[in-house]
Chains A and B, each alone.
Chain A
Amino acid sequence: MFAMQSIHSSIAKLKQTALALSIGLGMGVTLQAESSPELIKQLQSLKSNDASNQIATDTIRQLNAANDVTLIQSLTAMKGATPVGRNWLMGLANSLYRKSGKSQTAELNKFLSDATQDGEARYTVFKWLTASNAELRKTLLDGMKQDPSPELRYLAISEAVQAKPDTKELLSLLDSARHAEQVVSIIGVLKEKGTVVDQVKQFGLLTEWKLIGPFDNVGTVNFDKVFPVEADWINGKVKDEYESKLVADGKNVNAKWINESAKSEDGTIDVAALYSNEKGCIVYAATEFDSEKEQDAELRLGCINGNKTWLNGKLVMSNEVYHTDMKIDQYTEPVRLKAGKNQILVKISQNEQKEQWAQRFAFQLRVSDSTGKAILAKGK
């Protein structure tokens, strides 16, 4: 018995070696024969660069040809893999599913029910299992409104909202929802039913700001210029006034800090309104966030203009993009909040485009956990 297994194992290894050699010779490179689990490990840690791509291309070729790699192996490997590695593994999994997936329903159901597995892999499996089974789809989604997979949770909540639930259920769905557009949508449905939700609080949007400007950005050339107020703020000590850009009447006016509260339900600070639709300029906005404890968080910015964001003196975001879009959670960045007061500075850069659709000068910012759930400041 064991002798036979050993022979089969040897033959399998010989086949792998022959395959690897033939591929290697064909490609002009030398490959080492490795087992499928070892090859899958290589895909898990892939980055997006030329060296990785050469290795991955050879690896996927071997895995596509191998007979001993299983669908569940490829899906399981997605847990802990890099984002790039997950896509290579998903490519492999799709091929394996075409070959034998429909005979592995039990294994796939078990995989899907294991919420510790990779969320993208589980969503893929969900789609396979429910592609032609509407009843199963409904049953599964009913239990996925708080699923750790953002895609499964989003879909489950979407379907539940479409089923016209009552207010109590809608409030429960709102509590589970993390996707910004979905949250706004549920708040809208609740409003139609007569229940008003504080959207600013729901998102944790920061509403109280101090702004200063305008500073010169004619020709859109000063996005990276460190204005004195920026240097001072990073060093933790700002003055009350700074020299501003030339304004319309040709005079220099000292820029002073002004207080502004966001008035709209999406927490937008309308910078254009505060600075008379000034073009070719930069405005800084500062606020502080009082954190209950030291914790991981995300700064989530929406801005239609070029923007930079600092947290406690450290630059965390920079996007020199003008007039493409603005929405909640447009730019997200993981940060570490310290316990107590955290200082936030946003630099908003307006260009000089004349088109009617290029006149907005605005931003919004919130603090959330990694899933998008609001983190509220102490006492809020």
Chain B
Amino acid sequence: MRFKLRNTFARCALAFGFAPAVFTSSLQADWPQFRGPNAGSVSLDSKLPTKFGGESNANVAWQTKLPGRSVGGAIVIGDQVITTSSSGMDQRRLHLISVNDKDGSIRWQQEFVARGRTNCHPTSAIAAPTPVSDGKYVYAFYSSNDLACVDLDGNLVWYRSLSTDFPKAGNDVGMSSSPIVVDGVCIVQVECQGDSFAAGLSCQDGRILWRTDRPKQSNWASPVAIKLPSGEQVVVMQSSQDLLAVSPKTGKTVWTMDVKCSSIPSAMAAESRLFVPAAGLTVFDLSSAGAVPSKLWDNNKLAANACSPLVVGKRVYTISRTVLASADLFSGELKWQARLPDAKSIWSSPVVAGNNLYIFTEDGKCFVVNLGDEKGEVVETNDLGESVLGSPAISGNALYVRGVSSLWKIAEK
């Protein structure tokens, strides 16, 4: 029963014109975007195995090799697991691939050719942003600023080359901001030293409904949708120079703050609070009806270099390099820290199922950390033997991991 809601939520969201906002629920089985429903990275009711992979390939339901490489995450819509990839000369071939949840077979593929820049750091890929779906369409964005919309059968609905519109949009380290969909608008944040902007495109036909200039600085953070006390939805965008909320339909500024935010980990909202990677972690009050959210607290011991924060219960969690920190949601007081032993670089944002946090490293290890009140305990260290830079998805009692060259489903056998 719990997972009968799969895909229903997204369809309702589309029908009624709203997107997931501040609450943290565990009932949705779809994982429609980067960090899942509400960008919360949490699926409390899911029961995932703590031990998987390794030489015995334990609890690996399937592993599907995919063309090229990807550092973005997968999404789950109904019985489809959808991911992107970039392959071939200069990674110019942009893939959008649907995999059957049941057996890992390829259901459909779409493919385009990058029309924007395809330079990127060797650890990254042109397939870096995580795709997003409103339950009817899937929107795939790439470092080259190509944006494609397909239906759930993989048929092209529309395509847009934002680098053709804005030729100086690009970053030779690679872009990675993931798009979101709010109120029938697909929102992209394209911040770089050249043509730097954010834009809202019509989900129906890819028209640019609005575009706003952004600071000319490289930025890899993703926008996030939040709901204000009035019920209005706004899109929050961060950069090294500001924190900005805009209306998703018009792009008009709702509020802006002079906050120097991190340019890699992204903000998230929970419990009427906005958690922003800035000055360590800075938390703003979303409960008041005032024009600009007031600051509740900040704590420089909760800095994150790459991973986005997440909230479970009355705790907020951040990762700085290889140290996981837990702090009180209301005061910001640091409760405990746990070092991830022998961990290499971490780029993938963690997810939580039940009371366990799953965090993947660049060299393919996954630390499973039990989140206690007094301490965090590493209960298992798994090894997929494949580099992982994208954030995993959770649907039902399964974990979906996008490795650089393959897609994995992890579930209790």
Query: Are B119 and A87 in contact, CB atoms less than 8 angstroms apart?
Result: no
Measured between beta carbons, the chain B residues less than 8 angstroms from A155 are 88-89
B112 touches A50 (CB 8 A): no
Q: A50-B208, A54-B205, A94-B109 are in contact. Are A87 and B146 (CB under 8 A)?
A: yes
Any B CB within 8 A of the CB of A324: yes
Q: What total count of A-B pairs have CB within 8 Å?
A: 109
Q: Is the CB of B112 within 8 A of A87?
A: yes
- Cβ of B190 under 8 Å from chain A: no
When C-beta atoms are compared, the residue in chain B nearest to A92 turns out to be: B156
User: When the two chains form their complex, are residues B111 and A330 in contact, meaning their CB atoms are under 8 A apart?
Assistant: no
With A54-B207, A94-B111, A324-B193 in contact, do A87 and B154 touch (Cβ < 8 Å)? no
Is A88 close to B, CB under 8 A? yes
Q: Is B253 an interface residue (CB 8 A)?
A: no
Determine if A237 is an interface residue (Cβ-Cβ < 8 Å).
no
B161: which of A83, A123, A154 is its contact (CB, 8 Å)?
A83
Within 8 A of B (CB), among A73-111: 83-84, 86-88, 90-92, 94-95, 98
Segment among B164-172, B286-294, B347-355, B361-369 that sits at the interface with chain A: B164-172
A57 contacts the other chain (Cβ, under 8 Å)?
Answer: yes
Verify B161–A84 contact, CB threshold 8 A. yes
Check if A70 is an interface residue, CB within 8 A of chain B: no
Pairwise interchain contact A57-B204, C-beta atoms closer than 8 A: yes
Task: Identify the closest chain B residue to A306 (Cβ).
Answer: B193
- Decide yes or no whether A274 CB sits under 8 A from chain B: no
CB distance from A144 to the nearest CB of B (A): 13
Is B161 within 8 A of A48, CB to CB? yes
Interface residue from B89, B121, B161 paired with A179 (Cβ < 8 Å): B89
B301 at the A/B interface (Cβ < 8 Å)? no
Q: How far is the CA of A151 from the CA of B218 in the complex (A)?
A: 30
A158: nearest residue on chain B (CB-CB)? B89
Asked if residues B171 and A87 are in contact (CB atoms below 8 Å), the reply is no
What residues of chain B lie closer than 8 Å to A60, measured between beta carbons? 156-158
**Is residue B160 contacting chain A, with contact meaning CB distance below 8 A?**
yes
Q: How far is the CA of A285 from the CA of B110 in the complex (A)?
A: 45
Tell me if B206 counts as interface (CB < 8 A to partner A): yes
Task: State which residues 100-140 of A face B: CB under 8 Å.
Answer: 120, 123-124
Nearest-CB residue, chain B, relative to A84: B161
Task: Tell me the nearest residue of chain B to A65, going by C-beta.
Answer: B155
Shortest distance between the CB of A283 and any CB in chain B (Å) = 19
Q: Which residues of A contact B110 (CB under 8 A)?
A: 91, 94-95
Q: A121 to nearest B CB, angstroms?
A: 10
Among residues of A, the one whose C-beta sits closest to the C-beta of B194 is A321
Q: 23 A-B pairs, CB-CB below 8 angstroms? A: A48-B115, A48-B165, A56-B158, A60-B157, A83-B113, A83-B161, A84-B159, A87-B112, A87-B148, A88-B156, A91-B148, A91-B156, A91-B159, A94-B109, A95-B110, A98-B108, A98-B154, A150-B89, A151-B88, A151-B89, A321-B193, A324-B171, A325-B121
Closest CB pairs A-B (n = 5): A91-B156, A325-B172, A324-B172, A57-B205, A48-B164
Binding site for B on A (CB under 8 A): 47-50, 53-54, 56-58, 60-61, 64, 83-84, 86-88, 90-92, 94-95, 98, 120, 123-124, 150-151, 154-155, 179, 319-322, 324-325, 327, 330
